[in-house]
Amino acid sequence: MASRCSSSTIASAGAPRVLFVTLGCAKNEVDTDRMRARLLRAGFSAAEDAPDADVAIVNTCSFLASATQESVEVTLELAEASSEGVRSRPIVMCGCVPSRYGDDLPSELPEVSAFVRAEDEDGIVGVVSSVLGLEDVIVAPQDEGVLRTVEGASAFVKISEGCDRFCTFCAIPYIRGRYRSRAAEDVVGEVRSLMEGGVREVVLIGQDTGVWGRDLEGDQTLAGLLRRVARAVRPYGGWIRVLYLQPEGMTDELIATIRDVDEVLPYIDIPIQHCSARVLSSMGRSGSPEELRALFARLRKEIPGMVLRTTGMAGFPGETDEEAAELYDFIQEEEFDYTSVFSYSQEEGTRAAAMGDQVDEGVKLERTQRLVDLTEQLGFSATSSHVGERVRVIVDGVEEGADGPELIGHAWFQAPDSDGAVHLAAGEAAVGDVVEVDLVDSFCYELIGELAGGEA
C-alpha cells in the first residue's frame, strides 16, 4: 500500500507545474495520461507551455532509431532552453528510451535529472518530488479509482503490455517485455469510468490485441472482452474500436463478435508487414499470400462494409525486386482503405540487424515511395467513396481554417489520429459532441461535412 504524507510542501509552493511531452504511439499517450493523473491527484498542476513549467516529463519512443533520435533531440532542446534562461527546470525522461538504453543514459545525457523505465512509471510522483527537492507529497494509493485525465469524446485504452512475437525486425519485446494481458475487470472499469466522464469512443490497443487473455486464468478471449466492454458502453451509445490485430488473431469467435455486436465498429487493423512467404518467415512471422487473401476475402464476406487497415514494410534484408513487386501487387489487389508504409530500419539488438543482404538505402527509399504512392491513391479513393453518406461524427477539436475556425472530427471509419478527419464549419457543436453529419466533399484523406442538425 502506498504511503500517505502531508501535502503542505506542494500547497505552500503553489502547486509545481509539470510539462508533459509525449512522443510515439497511442500507447505512450495512455502512459502519459496515467502519469498526469497521478501527479494531478498528488497536488501538482499541468503546464501548457515550457516557459511556465517547473519540471518537464518527456515520454519517449524507441521503436525505430529515428524515434530514439527525435526523443533525444526534444529532450536536449528543452535542456538548452532551460540553460538559456527561459526557465530553469529539471527534465525527467520516461518510457521506451530509458527502458531500452537505461544503463547508458546517465552518462550520455547529463542534462536529464532522472530516467524512468516504462515499467516504473507508476512511481512518477516520487521521482518528480525528488527532482524538485520536495520532501512531502501525497502519493495516491493504487486502488484509488481510474487514473485518466481524458478530455474529449475519444480515449485509447490499453488492454495489454509487451509482446511475445519477437519479430526479427522489432525491438518492442526487449523494450516492453513479454506479453501481459490486463485483467478484464480493470479494462471494463476504466471504460465505464471514461463513458461516465463523457467519452463516447474507446480504442482498445496493445502490441498484439488478438491474443489478449491467453495468459490469464480460464478461457478468456478478446471476443469475450469485447462483449463485456460493449455492455459497459451500450447505455451511452458508445463505440468500440480495436487496433493491432495480427492475422492469427482473427478467430471465428472474434469475427462473429465484430459482425454481430453493434458497439464494435467494423474497422479492422491487421498489420501484414509483407505478403511473401519467404520474407515473412525471415521476419519471424507466419503466413503466405494465399492465406492472407483467404482471410481478407472471408472478412469482406462475413462483415459487409468493413473498413480494412494494414501496414507494409519495404526493404527488409534480402527482399528481392520480385518480392517487392509481389507486395506492391498484393496491396493493389486488396485495395486496403488505409495502409501505413515503413522503410525497414536496422534496429540495434534485433536479429534482422545482423542479417546479411541488407538492402541499399536508395533502393529501400525507392520501394517505400512506390508503395506510398499506391496506398495514397487507394486511400484517397476509399475516402471519397464516403461522400454522400450521413454519418455520426465525434468532434475532436477546433482548428483555424482558410475561412475561419472549423470543427475537426472523425467518423466510424476513421481511427483517431490516424486516418484523416471530417471538417465542419464552426457552429453549435462543441468538442466532445457526437453529431449527425452529411459528407459533401473530400480531399486526400480528409472529408468535408455539414451538420445535419442536433446531437446524435
Q: Indicate whether 334 and 426 sit together in one domain.
A: no
Identify whether the C-beta of residue 240 lies closer than 8 Å to the C-beta of residue 226: yes
Place of cell 455520426: 392
Range of the domain at 449: 390-455
Amino acid at 292: L
- 240-267 in b/e form (b: 16+ CB < 10 A) is bbbbbbbbebbeeebbebbeebebbbbb
For residue 56, give the C-alpha cell: 518537464
Number of separate domains in the chain: 3
SS3 call for 368: helix
Residue 52 has a pLDDT of 85
Confirm whether residue 94 is marked as ligand binding. no
Q: Residue 417 falls within a domain, yes or no? A: yes
Please check whether residue 247 lies inside any domain of the structure.
Answer: yes
- Domain end residue (candidates: 323, 352, 384): 384
- Based on the fold, state whether residues 275 and 314 are members of the same structural domain: yes
Residue 405 and residue 365 in one domain: no
In single-letter form, the type of residue at position 401 comes to G
Does 410 lie in the same domain as 379?
Answer: no
Grid coordinates given for 109: 545525457
Contact 4, 183 (CB under 8 A): no
Q: How far apart are CA 440 and CA 456, in angstroms?
A: 18
348 and 420 part of one domain: no
> 271, 217, 199, 214: which is closest to 242 by C-alpha?
271
Question: Quick check: is 412 in a domain?
Answer: yes
Final residue in a domain of this structure, among 355, 384, 413: 384
CATH code, 28: 3.40.50.12160
How would you classify residue 236: left for phi > 0, otherwise alpha for psi between -120 and 50, otherwise beta? alpha
User: Same domain, yes or no, for 168 and 50?
Assistant: no
Pair 257, 357 in one domain: yes
323 and 359 share a domain?
Answer: yes
Q: What are phi and psi of 190, to 5 degrees?
A: -65, -40
Q: Report the distance separating Cα 155 and Cα 51, nearest Å.
A: 28
Q: Which of 439, 248, 270 is nearest to 338 (CA)?
A: 270
Q: Going residue by residue through the chain (456 aa), what tens digit of pLDDT does each one get?
A: 233 333 333 443 578 999 999 998 888 899 999 899 889 888 899 998 888 899 999 999 988 888 999 999 999 988 887 665 555 689 999 999 999 988 889 989 999 999 999 989 989 999 999 999 887 665 555 555 556 777 778 999 999 999 999 999 999 898 889 999 999 999 999 999 999 988 999 999 998 999 999 999 989 999 999 999 999 999 999 999 999 999 999 999 999 999 999 999 999 999 999 999 999 999 999 999 999 999 999 999 999 999 999 999 999 999 999 999 999 999 999 999 999 999 999 998 899 999 999 999 999 999 999 999 999 999 999 999 999 999 999 998 888 777 778 899 999 999 998 899 999 987 767 888 899 999 999 999 999 999 886 555
- Quote the pLDDT of residue 147: 66
Phi-psi region of 230 (alpha: psi -120 to 50; beta: other; left: phi over 0): alpha
Query: Which pLDDT score, from 0 to 100, does residue 9 have?
Result: 39
Residues 172, 265, single domain; the answer is yes
The residues with which 241 forms a beta bridge, in sequence order, are: 203
Provide the pLDDT for residue 445.
96
Exposure pattern of 171-186 as b/e (b: 16+ CB <10 Å)? bbbbbbeebebbebee
Q: Is 96 annotated as a binding residue?
A: yes
Looking up residue 440, the CATH number of its domain turns out to be 2.40.50.140
Q: Which residue do the cell numbers 480531399 mark?
A: 443
Q: Which of 91, 116, 131 is the last residue of a domain?
A: 131
Residue recorded with cell 527537492? 133
Classify residue 146: in a domain, yes or no. no
The length of the chain in residues reads: 456
Is 141 part of a structural domain of the chain? no
Which residue is it, cell 462543441?
430
What's the confidence (pLDDT) of residue 86? 52
Q: Is 5 annotated as a binding residue?
A: no
Look at residue 142 and tell me if it is in a domain: no
Confidence (pLDDT) at 297: 97
Identify whether residues 206 and 354 lie together within a single domain: yes
Choose among 13, 21, 3, 20: nearest CA to 43: 13
Give residue for cell 518480392. Answer: 323
Based on the domain organization, do 378 and 399 belong to the same domain?
no
Identify the pLDDT of residue 137: 62
170 annotated as a binding-site residue: yes
- Give yes or no: residues 85 and 233 share one domain: no
Residue 324 lies in a domain: yes
The CATH number of residue 336's host domain is: 3.80.30.20
Dist. CA 64–CA 360, nearest whole Å = 18
The DSSP annotation for 168-191 comes to TT--HHHHH-S-EEPPHHHHHHHH
Residue 149 domain flag: no
The confidence score (pLDDT) of residue 429 equals 79
